[in-house]
């Protein structure tokens, strides 16, 4: 039996043949309209077949959802629907489910859709081959790959996906790939909130783009404003700069990153490694500052040069790199170490300047201690110290000390000190080893002269217009006086305490930095 009926006649027939439908309106599936109906238990066991006409689809409703299709099999005893052809399930104003086939259980409120499935909500659209929809839990689930599109630019692919309607949240698992015109996110698990675009990932995750690559095992990314926060094995690659830290904040629009705790920044172009516990990096401006146990290591042939201070500021590209270390700055390499209130290094000029800040400030270090260098057994101090490096090799080329230059070297066998002072000091290095020093203006010296048997011959004390000092095997070999003004030699017994020290003498040999760990000793000294 097959007839075309209007909605009123069809409803009356259902009322006669299916009395239970209207007895419990909140739990029974309702057939709102259909062009044709057919009931034949031999052909369609315990099912009523509902078919659309030329104008309208079959319409079905149940507890807040409306369904449309070309044809439906209604199992009234089971309160169950099988819908075929251009199926639409709509829940309120927020959820639209399209498919070619749909099963719906009115008792459990669980739907299963297959064939070109499309789930739409205000902020995203899901495409998949098959989907389960649990209306009691308000969750949709797929397990055979799906794709979510948000605002026509973000797409998320995964093998398994779960959508929580109340939270407007997707849970993606296995082979998750989020694509954006600016980047891609690969992760084993991703939680994504469609309303605010927040993404949370778990497990080894990569975010790749043209300008940066990011890795972490736990993190967050805001796809609406392109900011992220990454922890656990966090790493950001900016072309030739790599940032590793316990946690990293990233702003793609500004090309900016800030890092916290156990930071390691690797600059492959300049062969620098910078460490600390807080850093900010502005890649577009070629600038970075790092603080809290900040240290930078620069490769120099087979050795490395380390600079440590409260804060290190690095600016400029590789050709014009400036490094400023300030507040109790320290430097160390195997044959050279030193201290100053601040150290400024200009790569374009190959100059490192050791300076104290404004002497008017009430700082004990500034008032009592000048910048200092230790080259093997020699202590060198002055108001300002400048080291010059060879640009191609980074080897130390020369040394200049302005105002109150002073050199102290412990006598190899005795208790005295070789001492040289003057207004200006100029030194020359060969293979990173200090070989000669010129003292210009107001030059004074005390020198313990020993023979080949290391026996003390005499002690020389003199004043000259200039001095030239020659070093051999890191020790003073001889002193050449130019335009000597005054001078005298003393036997050891006549060299009394009141003449043993030049004016401005300050023994700080105990401050010599002997290792990398020494850089961090006496931080508040």
Is residue 175 pLDDT above 60, yes or no?
yes
pLDDT digits (tens, 9 = 90+) for 339-389: 999 999 998 898 999 988 655 444 444 445 689 999 888 899 999 999 998
In a domain, 343, yes or no: yes
Integer Cα distance of 95 and 120 in angstroms: 6
Structure tokens at 232: 């656990």
Contacts for 107 with CB less than 8 Å, ≥ 6 apart: 27, 78, 79
Integer Cα distance of 189 and 226 in angstroms: 19
pLDDT digits (tens, 9 = 90+) for 61-110: 999 999 999 999 999 999 999 999 999 999 998 899 999 999 999 999 99
In a domain, 354, yes or no: yes
Structure tokens at 485: 């003004």
Structure tokens at 136: 């009691």
What band does 502 get if pLDDT is binned at 50, 70 and 90?
Answer: very high
Integer Cα distance of 231 and 253 in angstroms: 20
Q: Which tops the pLDDT comparison, 23 or 333?
A: 333
In a domain, 62, yes or no: no
With helix as H, strand as E and coil as C, how does 445-497 read? EEEEEECCCCCEEEEEEEEEEEEEEEEECCEEEEEEEEEEEEEEEECHHHCCH
In a domain, 364, yes or no: yes
Integer Cα distance of 99 and 117 in angstroms: 4
Max Cα-Cα span within the chain: 137
In a domain, 382, yes or no: yes
Residue 364, pLDDT score? 47
Residue 358, pLDDT score? 52
> What CATH code is carried by the domain that includes residue 444?
2.60.450.10
In a domain, 87, yes or no: no
Backbone angles phi, psi at 322, to 5 degrees: -115, 130
- Most confident stretch, 8-17, 97-106, 357-366, 483-492: 97-106
Integer Cα distance of 392 and 444 in angstroms: 36
Residue 25, pLDDT score? 47
Residue 20, pLDDT score? 41
In a domain, 111, yes or no: no
Contact 311, 327 (CB under 8 A): yes
Contacts for 415 with CB less than 8 Å, ≥ 6 apart: none
How far does CA 155 lie from the centroid of its chain?
A: 25
Which helix (H) or strand (E) is 519 found in, with range? none
Q: How many C-beta neighbours within 10 Å does residue 43 have?
A: 9
Residue for token pair 């930078």 = 296
Q: Which tops the pLDDT comparison, 521 or 460?
A: 460
Integer Cα distance of 346 and 37 in angstroms: 88
Q: Coil, strand or helix: which one is 384?
A: strand
With helix as H, strand as E and coil as C, how does 410-454 read? ECCCCCCEEEEEEEEEEEEEECCEEEEEEEEEEEEEEEEEECCCC
Is residue 395 pLDDT above 90, yes or no?
no
pLDDT digits (tens, 9 = 90+) for 198-210: 999 999 999 999 9
Q: How many independent structural domains does the chain possess? A: 1
Structure tokens at 480: 């050449």
pLDDT digits (tens, 9 = 90+) for 133-142: 999 999 999 9
Is residue 446 pLDDT above 70, yes or no?
yes
Q: Which of 459, 471, 407, 461 is nearest to 434 (CA)?
A: 471
Residue 414, pLDDT score? 78
Q: Which tops the pLDDT comparison, 525 or 15?
A: 525
Is residue 275 pLDDT above 70, yes or no?
yes
Structure tokens at 514: 């002997």
Residue 392, pLDDT score? 77
> Interior CA angle at 79 toward 78 and 83, to 5°?
105
Residue 6, pLDDT score? 40
Residue 18, pLDDT score? 41
Residue 15, pLDDT score? 39
Residue 11, pLDDT score? 41
What band does 46 get if pLDDT is binned at 50, 70 and 90?
Answer: confident
Contact 393, 432 (CB under 8 A): no
Q: Taking the model in full, what pTM does it have?
A: 0.81
What band does 4 get if pLDDT is binned at 50, 70 and 90?
Answer: very low
Is residue 273 pLDDT above 80, yes or no?
yes
Is residue 393 pLDDT above 50, yes or no?
yes
Q: Coil, strand or helix: which one is 151?
A: coil
pLDDT digits (tens, 9 = 90+) for 298-317: 887 677 889 999 999 999 88
- Please state which of the ranges 193-202, 259-268, 294-303 shows the lowest mean pLDDT: 294-303
Q: Which tops the pLDDT comparison, 489 or 10?
A: 489
Average pLDDT over residues 240-255: 93
| Phi-psi domain of 152 (left: phi exceeds 0; alpha: psi -120 through 50; beta: other) | left
Which helix (H) or strand (E) is 87 found in, with range? strand 80-91
Backbone angles phi, psi at 493, to 5 degrees: -70, -20
CA distance from start to end of the chain: 102
Residue 319, pLDDT score? 81
- Please state which of the ranges 115-119, 174-178, 341-345 shows the lowest mean pLDDT: 341-345
Contact 425, 399 (CB under 8 A): yes
Contacts for 417 with CB less than 8 Å, ≥ 6 apart: 408, 409, 410, 411, 446, 500, 501, 505, 507
- Residues 55-75 as b or e (16 or more Cβ within 10 Å = b): eebbbbebeebebbbbbbbbb
Q: Domain residues for 371? A: 330-520
Backbone angles phi, psi at 223, to 5 degrees: -75, -15
In a domain, 374, yes or no: yes
Average pLDDT over residues 19-35: 69
Mean pLDDT, the chain, whole residue set: 87
């Amino acid at each position: 039996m097959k007839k075309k009926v209007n909605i009123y006649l069809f409803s009356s027939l259902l009322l006669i043949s299916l009395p239970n439908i209207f007895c419990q309106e909140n739990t029974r599936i309702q057939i709102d309209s259909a062009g044709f109906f057919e009931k034949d238990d031999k052909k369609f066991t315990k099912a009523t077949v509902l078919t659309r006409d030329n104008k309208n689809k079959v319409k079905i409703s149940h507890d807040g959802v409306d369904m449309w299709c070309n044809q439906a099999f209604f199992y009234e005893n089971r309160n169950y629907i099988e819908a075929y052809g251009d199926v639409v399930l709509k829940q309120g104003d927020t959820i639209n489910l399209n498919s070619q086939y749909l099963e719906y259980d009115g008792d459990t409120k669980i739907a299963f859709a297959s064939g070109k499935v499309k789930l739409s909500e205000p902020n995203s659209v899901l495409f998949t081959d098959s989907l389960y929809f649990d209306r009691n839990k308000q969750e949709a689930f797929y397990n055979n790959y799906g794709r979510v599109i948000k605002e026509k630019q973000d797409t998320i692919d995964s093998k398994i996906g779960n959508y929580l309607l109340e939270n407007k949240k997707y849970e993606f698992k296995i082979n998750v790939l989020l694509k954006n015109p600016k980047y891609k996110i690969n992760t084993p698990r991703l939680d994504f909130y469609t309303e605010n675009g927040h993404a949370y990932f778990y497990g080894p995750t990569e975010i790749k783009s043209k300008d940066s690559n990011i890795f972490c095992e736990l993190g967050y990314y805001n796809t609406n404003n392109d900011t992220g926060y990454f922890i656990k094995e966090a790493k950001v690659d900016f072309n030739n700069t790599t940032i590793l830290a316990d946690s990293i904040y990233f702003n793609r629009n500004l090309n900016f990153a800030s890092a916290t705790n156990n930071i390691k920044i690797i600059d492959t172009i300049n062969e620098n490694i910078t460490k600390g516990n807080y850093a900010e990096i502005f890649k577009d401006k070629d600038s970075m500052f790092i603080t809290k146990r900040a240290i930078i290591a620069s490769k120099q042939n087979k050795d490395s040069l380390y600079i440590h201070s409260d804060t290190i500021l690095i600016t400029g590209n590789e050709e014009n790199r400036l490094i400023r270390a300030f507040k109790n700055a320290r430097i160390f390499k195997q044959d050279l170490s030193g201290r100053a209130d601040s150290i400024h290094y200009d790569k374009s000029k190959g100059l490192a300047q050791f300076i104290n800040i404004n002497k008017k400030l009430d700082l004990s270090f500034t008032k009592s201690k000048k910048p200092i260098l230790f080259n093997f057994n020699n202590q060198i101090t002055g108001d300002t110290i400048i080291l010059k490096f060879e640009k191609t090799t980074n080897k130390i080329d020369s040394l200049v000390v302005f105002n109150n230059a002073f050199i102290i070297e412990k006598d190899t066998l005795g208790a005295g000190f070789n001492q040289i002072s003057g207004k200006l000091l100029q030194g020359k290095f060969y293979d990173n080893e200090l070989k000669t020093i010129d003292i210009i203006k107001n030059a004074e010296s005390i020198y313990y002269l020993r023979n080949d048997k290391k026996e003390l011959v005499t002690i020389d004390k003199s004043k000259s217009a200039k001095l030239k000092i020659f070093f051999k095997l890191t020790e003073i070999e001889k002193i050449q006086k130019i335009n000597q003004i005054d001078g005298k030699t003393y036997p050891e017994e006549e060299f009394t305490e009141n003449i043993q020290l030049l004016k401005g003498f300050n023994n700080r040999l105990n401050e010599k930095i002997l290792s990398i760990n020494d850089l961090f000793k006496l931080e508040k000294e």
